[in-house]
Amino acid sequence: MGTAPAQTHFPIPSGWFRVGFEDDFARESAAPVRYFGEELVLARTRSGRIQLLAAHCPHLGAHLGHGGCVEGERIQCPFHGWRFGMDGACMEIPYARRIPPRATLRSYPTRVSDGIVWAWHDPNGAAPTWEPPGIPELADEDWSALIHHQWLIKTRNQEIAENTSDPAHFGVVHGFGASPEPEITFDGHRYRSVTRSRVARADGNVSSSRLEVTWHGLGTGIVRSTGDFQLLVVGTNTPVDETTIDARFSFSVCRAQGLAPDRGAGKAFIGEAIRQMEQDIPIWENKVFVHPPVLCDGDGPIVQFRNWATQFYADTPP
């Protein structure tokens, strides 16, 4: 059996990752960000396109996110005024007649859907093999605007996603009682866990619920609670580098059911989700990745999960 620290064992996986939210970016603006172990810049053009690009100008290395500007559909280097299109190609050098063929920036495939800015990461630059998830609730007026909570966690994407395949930890870590076994399926880049429950209430009625967790790759886990309470959590975990995750929980509740994120059951649900996350964090930050693990008959489909996860590593999987 071999063990290795969780924060150093994994390469950064391939897939779509949240790099921002549309409302955060004004038109004709540029913002520095650091993801995937790289210095990057998020540019928004006059037409509204948002694009993730490598940050350093290939000329003499200036950072386009610090002093660079976006004019029209191009981003301009603050050092010598070289201008690049959103595909990364240099379009203009103000004092030159010829543009060098290697005057390009890496341009990451970028999508905006349901107000979330997604970027595709592949260590070898391979094109996307699937699309970011659609989240119809975010365009539905019956649902509240997203409320965000953020953590920087010293762990890797796979450790966070694996929790869904580990029902035994919910009792020990989170204090849950016995609960129905989830139905778990693996389908291409998606992994889904569904738990159905019926609980007797004090008024003699029965409360029914359905909790669905769907992972889209190792970067996005969407939680939907339906039944008596309709609630949504968009969990997005973006690698800052090989040791740190920028983790966000983005919450919405169904206003048509009378729920609100700042009071009553909606507020309590959000608080409980944050509580559980913060119980997991010290475990992730101090554990090692055991492979192969010593499992018992009460454990969940951890091996199946790990086999599914190997598809997101371009080189040697963990």
Distance between CA 234 and CA 221 in Å, rounded? Answer: 6
Q: What is the pLDDT of residue 181?
A: 79
Of residues 275 and 199, more confidently modeled: 275
Report whether 128 contacts 109 (CB < 8 A): yes
Q: What is the mean pLDDT of the chain?
A: 92
Q: What is the pLDDT of residue 282?
A: 97
Q: What is the mean predicted confidence (pLDDT) over 65-91?
A: 98
Q: What is the pLDDT of residue 168?
A: 87
pLDDT at 318 over 80: no
Distance between CA 26 and CA 116 in Å, rounded? Answer: 14
Among 165, 156, 138, residue whose Cα is nearest residue 250: 138
Cα 292 from chain centre: 27
Strand partners, 276: none
Q: What is the pLDDT of residue 6?
A: 43
Indicate the pairing of strand 50-54 with strand 107-108.
Answer: antiparallel
Q: What is the pLDDT of residue 79?
A: 98
Report whether 279 contacts 174 (CB < 8 A): yes
When pLDDT is cut at 50, 70 and 90, the band that residue 207 belongs to is: low
When pLDDT is cut at 50, 70 and 90, the band that residue 206 belongs to is: low
When pLDDT is cut at 50, 70 and 90, the band that residue 45 belongs to is: very high
- Residue type for position 215: W
Q: What is the mean predicted confidence (pLDDT) over 64-79?
A: 98
Q: pLDDT tens for residues 131-190?
A: 999 999 999 999 999 999 999 999 999 999 999 899 888 888 988 876 667 899 999 999
Among 18, 89, 14, residue whose Cα is nearest residue 53: 89
When pLDDT is cut at 50, 70 and 90, the band that residue 266 belongs to is: very high
When pLDDT is cut at 50, 70 and 90, the band that residue 4 belongs to is: very low
Q: What is the pLDDT of residue 102?
A: 96
3-state SS, residue 164: helix
Among 220, 254, 218, residue whose Cα is nearest residue 234: 220
pTM of the model: 0.92
Distance between CA 79 and CA 63 in Å, rounded? Answer: 9
Q: pLDDT tens for residues 84-133?
A: 999 999 999 999 999 999 999 999 999 999 999 999 999 999 999 999 99
When pLDDT is cut at 50, 70 and 90, the band that residue 5 belongs to is: very low
